[in-house]
Amino acid sequence: MNLKLNKYQKYALLIPIVPFIGIGISLLTDRYRFFLEYHWIYSTGKMFCFALWLLGFMWAIVNSVYIINNLKLKIKYRVMWLIINFATVIWFLIMIAILLLE
């Protein structure tokens, strides 16, 4: 099976992975929170995690504009790529809604 994906489709597949790598880094650095000599690992890891989340959101928005303008596919496939692209944004909004409804 030979898939021909352009760069916007490859980015759309990569974008949901970036924030979850940040979550993994956050979970790994949490164990250094209470050790004073290693607290810098925790603070650096949290800052890096936040930067990955922010990068993922901004990248999703920019890539969505490119998908809408440059992807020459049928509308249902274009919508599918937009949903894949916005997977982390949708997940984040669902988590915020759950927190607000509790």
Pick from 28, 24, 18: which is nearest to 55 by CA? 18
In a domain, residue 1? The reply is no
In a domain, residue 28? The reply is yes
> What pLDDT sits at residue 2?
60
| Residues 11-46: tens digit of each pLDDT | 888 888 888 888 889 899 999 988 889 999 999 999
- Give the predicted TM-score (pTM) of the model: 0.71
- Asked if 93 and 60 touch (Cβ cutoff 8 Å), the reply is no
In a domain, residue 13? The reply is yes
89, with CB counted inside 10 A (0-12, 13-18, 19+), is middle
**Boundaries of domain holding 45:** 7-101
In a domain, residue 73? The reply is yes
Q: Residue 54, SS3?
A: helix
CA distance 39 to 16: 29
CA distance 60 to 81: 11
